[in-house]
A = this chain, B = another copy of it.
Amino acid sequence: MSNTKLPYKREELYRQGPQRSFSGPALGEVAFPLGGIGTGNVSLGGRGQLRDWEIFNRPGKGVTLPYTFFSIWAQAEGGQPIARVLEARRPPPYARADGLASNELAGLPRLDGCTFTGAYPFAQIAFNDKKLPLEVELAAFNPMVPLDAELSGLPVAIFTWKLHNPGTTSVDATLAFSLANLTGFDGVTTIDRNASTKMLGKCLNSWVQEDRLAGIAMTTQKYAPDHPSFGSLAVATPWNDLTYTLRWKRAGWFDAIQSFWDDFADGQLRDDPTPELSPDGKVDFGTLGLRVKLAPGASVELPIILSWHMPNLTNTWNAGWRGLEGMVGKPVGNYYTTKFKDAWAAAAYAVRELPRLEAATRRFHDTLFESTLPAHVLDAASSQMSIIRTTTGLRTSDGKFHGFEGCNDNIGCCPMNCTHVWNYEQSLAYLYPALERTMRDTDFAINTRDDGDMAFRTVLPLEPVVLWDFKPAADGQMGSVMKVYREWLLCGDTKWLRKLWPEVKRALEYAWRGPNGNLSAAWDPDGDGVMEGEQHNTYDIEFYGPNTMVGSLYLGALRAAEELARAVGENSSADEYRARYERGRARLDAELWNGEYYIQREPPIDQIVEVDHGSQPWHSAALVAGESELRYQYGQGCLSDQLLGAWFGAVVGLDDLLPAERVRAALDAIFRYNWRADLGDHANVQRTYALNDEAGLLLCSWPHGQRPTLPFPYSDEVWTGIEYQVAAHLIYAGLVDEGLTIVRGLRDRHDGERRNPWNEFECGNHYARAMASWSLLLALSGFHYSAPASQIAFAPLVNADNFRSFFSTGSGWGSFAQQTQGATLTATLELRAGDLTLQRIGLRPAATPTSVHVTLGGDTLAAQIEPDGSGVVVILDQAVVLREGALIEIALA
């Protein structure tokens, strides 16, 4: 146990129960993304405003749609009518060179305040206002169910407004949603104050009435259907007492919004269904109103569905990338738009299927949040799994998933499928493993060259193949081999593995073969399982000499490849990889352990071999003429990532990549030296992700001096992705308090005032590395799964006496629970979706059990127990196939 005094009370680390709420200043940064996989999002702001419109095939932080907002009109019987924008008042500052713009409606009355609660994928806002005769709440979500990428990939934002009349007289109300027809918008150009730009106009708003649903469909005739800016929008509802305006008055100045707001003064709009094309350059605004009369004490739920359909995703992100300029503008296409003909079709689908979509999503949500895991861990895991469904992820028309590292405000950042950043991510892997496998397909079937050199970024479109011309990333490449192992465990699809195996093998063996067989440029020229060569890595520089950061990933890749080789029947390769692994492990441990943690051994300057980096421009090199010290290394430092491969090993059950006691000691040292409860005295001239009184885990420190003059870039920074991997690894190693402490400090930084809880950024928003947070859930539940072995295992590391957690495999997901009473452990596994073939169930009772009793839906199953490490494995005499709803119960005594 670390000797660092932890700054949090036990309650702060272990509290279960509801998620945080946000109000007042903490609403400022809140932006809760609403959107499906590969569809883009619009975010629900803390005050109920819609912000960050990212539905136009690109990120759009700060992009707002002019005059697009919810509003309410209400009149208690005998009272004065009141109209309000359905948002809490905006807080200061109010400074803008020419005033807050009309199209943000800053001057219209809003509600007094609100409280925002988010438990992804559901957000809720409870509003308060002294004057409105109704109580108002909003629930918003986009359907999400693990394993079901179709249901989780709908281009909709679903809003359910709950109105309650707490008074003693009836209240007439109209709840309205106004939407700018911004079809044709490129997602980034500043829209002028009158909301008309040259790129817009010729737009058509149509009234659509279908069986049990109605609404407004919006499209444009300014662009051909294959133009990147072409698309459609829709707003629909199943409610049937409606009023609407297809387009506000087309006039100058502020007249359009004035005409709407005046029209809204009696809660009744114009209801003229005649469509009419807008002039070129002019945007129309449509409003859909839902009318209701609420008796005293009555409540109602009013659903409004916003949908979008922007089919022509093109490569915008390679602008400025040397050699890839020609890719810009090439069509890539969206998957979601192949499923619906337009936004109206998507909206209509969502309205019709709303009960099913909501129930399925609620089932997932409840399974995740009914857990006994600490609330802030669920916060970390759930909030960051949203990254799968932000603009950081694409699902292209061929169905494949691709990921940026993250997103700059208006463009995806560091395209695409970066092997080293995506090393850390576990959310997509465990929630949508089939999509994750498409990334492996791209990694190996596309990006792996004949000599095993993996282009560590993907160039889209995939056909014809263009490979990114840069040296491979040692950490990313080794991690990719481990990922294949993870994917295979989750899906058990050995046929899939066989297909990729030749490239996987080449990618691994590249370590000791080098580029085109050039040994002098190889990572591990002597093939002893330790990389000494130039190792480009996730810090955007190169390490030289043995280090466990890349080294542990190499060991993990060797072990993973050993297992994979055996699965495809290549036992001699397996033996060879094992042997290299053994040698490497021994040497790393012998040479790099400094008594507290693992260091880097830099080679003498005159032995440095710099590798050609292809056609790409590159950052400053480590080797500078006339300097006696290599730049950008960590040397004697205590690197937070020093056990990266071992963490990944713990996730996938390759537990012994380095000696367990040293791993534990090194983790302890990382926490002790690199985690700061208060960064007020930390001097960091690099980028800043944590500061002042905030807590955070530094990427590196030099507790015993010998800090390099110019240490590797980012060394003084704090990255959530690394914090998560270290936290999870601490938990795996039994240092649970320390792990939870890191997570607590991290999530406290994302308190809604400082940062958005649903956006952990690094080199870009919604940074993929933050999806390491899913490994917290894996670690705390001690979850392992092997489809090939029909084995599942749990070893709860928190609340083991009364534990419950979500779990997922490649074929089904559900809830695992265990209770202990005296020497008896009762475990239940309930499959809530999909199916699951099981024969072996790992558990970790407090004492060695002597008996086992297993039932499935009340029927007893014959089973044995065997010891397994620190636990036992329950072996069913016959494998069973669990179906949705199946409940298996195991009693160990």
Partner of A94, one of B108, B259, B754: B754
Asked if B252 contacts A89 (CB within 8 A), the reply is no
Q: Looking at A94, A102, A631, A710, which has the most chain B CB atoms within 10 Å of its CB?
A: A94
**Closest residue of B by beta carbon distance from A681:** B109
Q: Check A407 for interface membership: any CB of B closer than 8 A.
A: yes
Q: Looking at A99, A100, A262, which has the most chain B CB atoms within 10 Å of its CB?
A: A99
Tell me the minimal C-beta distance from A108 to chain B in angstroms: 6
A342: chain B residues at CB < 8 Å are: none
C-alpha gap A687/B100 in the complex (Å): 6
Tell me the minimal C-beta distance from A214 to chain B in angstroms: 27
Partner of A761, one of B97, B107, B251, B756: B97
**Closest residue of B by beta carbon distance from A83:** B683
Asked if B93 contacts A406 (CB within 8 A), the reply is no
Q: Check A461 for interface membership: any CB of B closer than 8 A.
A: no
Which stretch in A375-383, A552-560, A688-696, A812-820 binds the other chain?
Answer: A688-696
Tell me the minimal C-beta distance from A270 to chain B in angstroms: 15
Asked if A107 contacts B253 (CB within 8 A), the reply is no
C-alpha gap A28/B753 in the complex (Å): 14
The verdict on A753 contacting B99 (CB below 8 Å), with A258-B685, A258-B710 known, is no
C-alpha gap A620/B61 in the complex (Å): 33
Tell me the minimal C-beta distance from A245 to chain B in angstroms: 15
Chain A 237-280 per-residue mask, 1 if CB under 8 angstroms from chain B, else 0: 00000000000000111110111011000000000000000000
Chain A 118-135 per-residue mask, 1 if CB under 8 angstroms from chain B, else 0: 000000000000010000
Asked if B409 contacts A97 (CB within 8 A), the reply is yes
Q: Check A716 for interface membership: any CB of B closer than 8 A.
A: yes
Main secondary structure of the interface of A (DSSP, over half): loop
Asked if B685 contacts A254 (CB within 8 A), the reply is yes
Q: Check A364 for interface membership: any CB of B closer than 8 A.
A: no
Partner of A98, one of B97, B251, B762: B762
A713: chain B residues at CB < 8 Å are: 253-254
Q: Which chain A residues numbered 455 to 469 have a C-beta less than 8 Å away from chain B?
A: none
Partner of A407, one of B28, B97, B258, B619: B97
Tell me the minimal C-beta distance from A28 to chain B in angstroms: 6
Chain A 306-350 per-residue mask, 1 if CB under 8 angstroms from chain B, else 0: 000000000000000000000000000000000000000000000
Asked if A93 contacts B685 (CB within 8 A), the reply is no
Asked if A762 contacts B102 (CB within 8 A), the reply is no
C-alpha gap A251/B626 in the complex (Å): 14
Asked if A408 contacts B98 (CB within 8 A), the reply is yes
Q: Which chain A residues numbered 386 to 434 have a C-beta less than 8 Å away from chain B?
A: 406-409, 413
Asked if B764 contacts A97 (CB within 8 A), the reply is yes
Asked if B763 contacts A98 (CB within 8 A), the reply is yes
Range class of the A interface residue count: 35 or more
The verdict on A93 contacting B753 (CB below 8 Å), with A252-B620, A413-B98, A688-B100 known, is yes
A632: chain B residues at CB < 8 Å are: 253
A96: chain B residues at CB < 8 Å are: 761
Asked if A754 contacts B92 (CB within 8 A), the reply is yes
A261: chain B residues at CB < 8 Å are: 683, 685
Asked if B685 contacts A108 (CB within 8 A), the reply is yes
C-alpha gap A94/B717 in the complex (Å): 14
Q: Check A706 for interface membership: any CB of B closer than 8 A.
A: no
Partner of A97, one of B61, B680, B684: B61
Partner of A107, one of B131, B258, B716: B716
Q: Check A105 for interface membership: any CB of B closer than 8 A.
A: yes
Asked if B251 contacts A620 (CB within 8 A), the reply is yes
**Closest residue of B by beta carbon distance from A410:** B97
Q: Which chain A residues numbered 669 to 720 have a C-beta less than 8 Å away from chain B?
A: 680-689, 691-692, 709-710, 713, 716-717
Chain A 22-49 per-residue mask, 1 if CB under 8 angstroms from chain B, else 0: 0001001100000000000000000000
C-alpha gap A753/B25 in the complex (Å): 13
Partner of A108, one of B413, B683, B762, B763: B683
A90: chain B residues at CB < 8 Å are: 691-692
C-alpha gap A252/B107 in the complex (Å): 48
Tell me the minimal C-beta distance from A754 to chain B in angstroms: 4
Asked if B763 contacts A710 (CB within 8 A), the reply is no
C-alpha gap A90/B413 in the complex (Å): 27
Q: Looking at A90, A413, A681, A689, which has the most chain B CB atoms within 10 Å of its CB?
A: A689
Tell me the minimal C-beta distance from A767 to chain B in angstroms: 9
Partner of A109, one of B682, B686, B749: B682
C-alpha gap A83/B683 in the complex (Å): 9
Q: Check A765 for interface membership: any CB of B closer than 8 A.
A: yes
A691: chain B residues at CB < 8 Å are: 89-90, 94, 100, 106-107
C-alpha gap A252/B627 in the complex (Å): 14
Partner of A93, one of B29, B407, B763: B29
Chain A 755-798 per-residue mask, 1 if CB under 8 angstroms from chain B, else 0: 11001011111000000000000000000000000000000000
Tell me the minimal C-beta distance from A661 to chain B in angstroms: 35
Asked if B683 contacts A109 (CB within 8 A), the reply is yes
A28: chain B residues at CB < 8 Å are: 92-93
Tell me the minimal C-beta distance from A719 to chain B in angstroms: 9
Asked if B683 contacts A99 (CB within 8 A), the reply is no
Asked if B255 contacts A710 (CB within 8 A), the reply is yes
Tell me the minimal C-beta distance from A405 to chain B in angstroms: 10
Q: Check A101 for interface membership: any CB of B closer than 8 A.
A: yes
Q: Check A224 for interface membership: any CB of B closer than 8 A.
A: no
The verdict on A685 contacting B105 (CB below 8 Å), with A29-B93, A94-B691, A754-B92 known, is yes
C-alpha gap A681/B688 in the complex (Å): 41
Partner of A95, one of B93, B687, B755: B755
**Closest residue of B by beta carbon distance from A261:** B685
**Closest residue of B by beta carbon distance from A692:** B89
**27 A–B pairs (Cβ distance < 8 Å), ordered by A:** A29-B93, A89-B680, A89-B691, A90-B692, A92-B754, A94-B689, A94-B749, A95-B759, A95-B761, A98-B413, A98-B763, A99-B688, A99-B717, A99-B761, A99-B762, A102-B685, A102-B686, A107-B682, A107-B687, A107-B691, A109-B680, A251-B710, A253-B710, A254-B685, A257-B685, A258-B685, A259-B710
Beyond A97-B407, A97-B761, A107-B717, list 10 extra A-B contacts (CB 8 Å): A90-B691, A93-B753, A95-B754, A95-B759, A99-B761, A101-B688, A105-B685, A107-B685, A109-B681, A255-B710
> Taking beta carbons and an 8 Å cutoff, which residues of A are in contact with B?
25, 28-29, 61, 83, 89-90, 92-102, 105-109, 131, 193, 251-255, 257-259, 261-262, 406-409, 413, 619-620, 631-632, 680-689, 691-692, 709-710, 713, 716-717, 749, 753-756, 759, 761-765
